[in-house]
Amino acid sequence: MVLTLTKSQKEMVQSYGRSFLGAALALYMAGSTDVYTYVYALVAAFAPVAIRFFNKNDIAFGKISGKSTSEEVAAEVVKSVKEFTKN
Protein backbone atom coordinates (compact mmCIF):
# COMPACT_ATOMS: atom_id res chain seq x y z
CA MET A 1 0.00 0.00 0.00
CA VAL A 2 1.43 3.33 -1.08
CA LEU A 3 0.49 6.49 0.76
CA THR A 4 -0.24 9.32 -1.64
CA LEU A 5 -0.81 12.84 -0.45
CA THR A 6 -2.60 15.65 -2.20
CA LYS A 7 -0.79 18.91 -2.88
CA SER A 8 -2.57 20.56 0.06
CA GLN A 9 -1.65 17.70 2.40
CA LYS A 10 1.99 17.90 1.31
CA GLU A 11 1.97 21.64 2.03
CA MET A 12 0.53 21.02 5.50
CA VAL A 13 3.22 18.42 6.25
CA GLN A 14 5.89 20.86 5.08
CA SER A 15 4.39 23.59 7.27
CA TYR A 16 4.41 21.21 10.24
CA GLY A 17 8.04 20.35 9.53
CA ARG A 18 9.03 24.03 9.45
CA SER A 19 7.22 24.65 12.74
CA PHE A 20 8.98 21.73 14.40
CA LEU A 21 12.37 22.68 12.98
CA GLY A 22 12.00 26.21 14.32
CA ALA A 23 10.99 24.98 17.78
CA ALA A 24 13.75 22.36 17.91
CA LEU A 25 16.39 24.83 16.74
CA ALA A 26 15.32 27.33 19.40
CA LEU A 27 15.59 24.63 22.08
CA TYR A 28 19.00 23.53 20.83
CA MET A 29 20.33 27.09 20.73
CA ALA A 30 19.04 27.64 24.28
CA GLY A 31 21.12 24.66 25.40
CA SER A 32 18.32 22.21 26.08
CA THR A 33 19.38 18.56 26.05
CA ASP A 34 16.24 17.02 27.56
CA VAL A 35 14.66 14.60 25.06
CA TYR A 36 11.20 15.16 26.51
CA THR A 37 11.48 18.87 25.79
CA TYR A 38 11.95 18.05 22.11
CA VAL A 39 8.92 15.75 22.22
CA TYR A 40 6.92 18.65 23.65
CA ALA A 41 8.21 20.83 20.81
CA LEU A 42 7.05 18.18 18.34
CA VAL A 43 3.55 18.33 19.84
CA ALA A 44 3.56 22.14 20.09
CA ALA A 45 4.57 22.49 16.43
CA PHE A 46 1.28 20.86 15.51
CA ALA A 47 -0.76 23.78 16.92
CA PRO A 48 -0.12 26.41 14.19
CA VAL A 49 -0.82 23.92 11.41
CA ALA A 50 -4.01 22.72 13.12
CA ILE A 51 -5.21 26.30 13.58
CA ARG A 52 -4.72 26.98 9.87
CA PHE A 53 -6.43 23.71 8.94
CA PHE A 54 -9.56 24.48 10.94
CA ASN A 55 -9.73 28.13 9.77
CA LYS A 56 -11.84 27.94 6.64
CA ASN A 57 -10.86 31.52 5.73
CA ASP A 58 -7.16 30.64 5.54
CA ILE A 59 -5.86 31.30 2.04
CA ALA A 60 -3.45 28.34 1.94
CA PHE A 61 -5.46 25.56 3.54
CA GLY A 62 -8.92 26.95 4.13
CA LYS A 63 -11.84 28.19 2.07
CA ILE A 64 -9.87 29.46 -0.91
CA SER A 65 -7.19 26.82 -1.10
CA GLY A 66 -5.63 25.28 -4.20
CA LYS A 67 -9.05 24.25 -5.51
CA SER A 68 -10.20 27.86 -5.92
CA THR A 69 -10.28 29.68 -9.22
CA SER A 70 -8.07 32.70 -9.76
CA GLU A 71 -11.16 34.94 -9.66
CA GLU A 72 -12.15 33.59 -6.24
CA VAL A 73 -8.66 34.11 -4.89
CA ALA A 74 -8.48 37.65 -6.31
CA ALA A 75 -11.87 38.51 -4.80
CA GLU A 76 -10.77 37.27 -1.38
CA VAL A 77 -7.50 39.18 -1.58
CA VAL A 78 -9.29 42.41 -2.52
CA LYS A 79 -11.80 41.84 0.30
CA SER A 80 -8.99 41.25 2.81
CA VAL A 81 -7.09 44.36 1.70
CA LYS A 82 -10.21 46.51 2.03
CA GLU A 83 -10.88 45.15 5.52
CA PHE A 84 -7.25 45.76 6.50
CA THR A 85 -7.22 49.34 5.25
CA LYS A 86 -10.42 50.17 7.19
CA ASN A 87 -8.62 49.45 10.46
Model confidence pLDDT, tens digit, residues 31-56: 999 999 998 888 888 888 888 777 77
Banded model confidence at residue 75, pLDDT cuts 50, 70, 90: confident
Per mean pLDDT, which range of 10-19, 27-36, 44-53, 60-69 is the poorest? 60-69
Averaged pLDDT score across all residues of the chain: 80
Banded model confidence at residue 66, pLDDT cuts 50, 70, 90: low
Work out the angle between the directed axes of helices 35-44 and 7-29 (0-180°, nearest 10): 140
